[in-house]
Amino acid sequence: MRNKYNKIAVVGAGAWGTALAQVAAKAGREVTLWAREAEVVESVNTVHENSLFLPGIALDPALRATGDLAEVADADAILMVTPAQHMRRVLETLAPEVAAEKPVVLCAKGVEQSTNYLLTEVLAEAMPQARAAVLSGPSFAAEVAKGLPTAVTLACEDEDVAEALAHAIGLPTFRPYYSADLIGAEIGGAVKNVLAIACGIVEGKKFGDSARAALTTRGFAELARLGISMGARTETLMGLSGLGDLILTCNSPKSRNMSLGMALGEGKTLEEVMGARNSVSEGVHSATAVVALARKYDIEMPIAEAVAAIVTGKAKVDEAIATLLARPFRSEG
């Protein structure tokens, strides 16, 4: 079982994709990393560093990068790490070359904005022959790439496949806990990005630790309501890919979504923040889709609604905060 998936392809060479490729190489797998940017391919292959997205971290010399998407199709398993809003296009391009039942592990966190689909739903349409899996959990790319201890959820409806994938990429310092709950693994990663923007705004406004703790807790209640309504298991939402990821993302400026919220809370515009970055803050794109899902399942998600209003320009930060603070008192349950 340990060598069932020896050839691993990683599609997407941002910080997280590069970190996962590093993990798989350290686990002894034969790894190919696909990058859209020619300079990333050259940097990885010549100086063994992703100087654009993960500078200063030495990569395993065995890790090979390519700019040819067709080269990843014959891998035993494919890790998809392209941003959520670009996932469909890349899957559709790759689909004709991918064999039936090949594990395709979705490692991005988000909801497709144009359809309000979870990424497993996108995969089912774009590459229906694939065996879907999800990797999610509390993990900062630089820490994972450096070999610092991390634990994540790896979900697949076939738990034997999930277990085999965990053995293929697992290390003593990178511990995948396997599960059959795809929805639970996905929903935590998607919603926590939206909530992290809210927590960043709290930090940027200097509202204090008590306010951030309250918002994180009430945000988790929103996440859990949506997840359970969509069929997720409570234990998954309480685990690494739900509560664990929320705790990390809502408590560290290293989080792209929290740092974006901090900048908004300090008075910067969304355009100013996004224009200064070469990385993706998925919460901005997923906020409206999460709110649409909440309405579809007839549940309340006022924090997510406030973030969606801010990032779409329908409300100023102070207006959205005032609306939240004016909500009526009610039972916590």
What pLDDT was estimated at residue 4?
Answer: 87
Confidence of residue 83 (pLDDT cuts 50, 70, 90): very high
Tell me what the mean pLDDT of segment 94-101 comes to: 97
Tell me what the mean pLDDT of segment 137-150 comes to: 97
Cα dihedral 295/298/300/301 (nearest 10): -40
Confidence of residue 2 (pLDDT cuts 50, 70, 90): very low
Q: What is the pLDDT of residues 184-206, one digit of tens each?
A: 999 999 999 999 999 999 999 99
What is the model's pTM? 0.94
Contact status, residue 41 vs residue 168, Cβ threshold 8 Å = no
Domains and CATH numbers, the chain: 7-180 (3.40.50.720), 187-325 (1.10.1040.10)
What pLDDT was estimated at residue 277?
Answer: 65
Distance in Å from the first CA to the final CA of the chain: 44
Q: At residue 279, does pLDDT exceed 70?
A: no
Is-catalytic flag, 192?
yes
Q: What is the pLDDT of residues 222-276, one digit of tens each?
A: 999 999 999 999 999 999 999 999 999 999 999 999 999 999 999 999 988 887 7
Q: Where are the alpha helices (DSSP H) in 205-277?
A: 209-229, 234-237, 245-249, 256-265, 270-275
Confidence of residue 1 (pLDDT cuts 50, 70, 90): very low
What pLDDT was estimated at residue 245?
Answer: 96
Tell me what the mean pLDDT of segment 296-307 comes to: 97
* Number of C-beta neighbours around residue 95 at 10 A: 17
Q: At residue 36, does pLDDT exceed 70?
A: yes
Helix or strand run (H / E) with residue 38? helix 38-47
User: Out of 26, 102, 109, 192, which one is annotated catalytic?
Assistant: 192
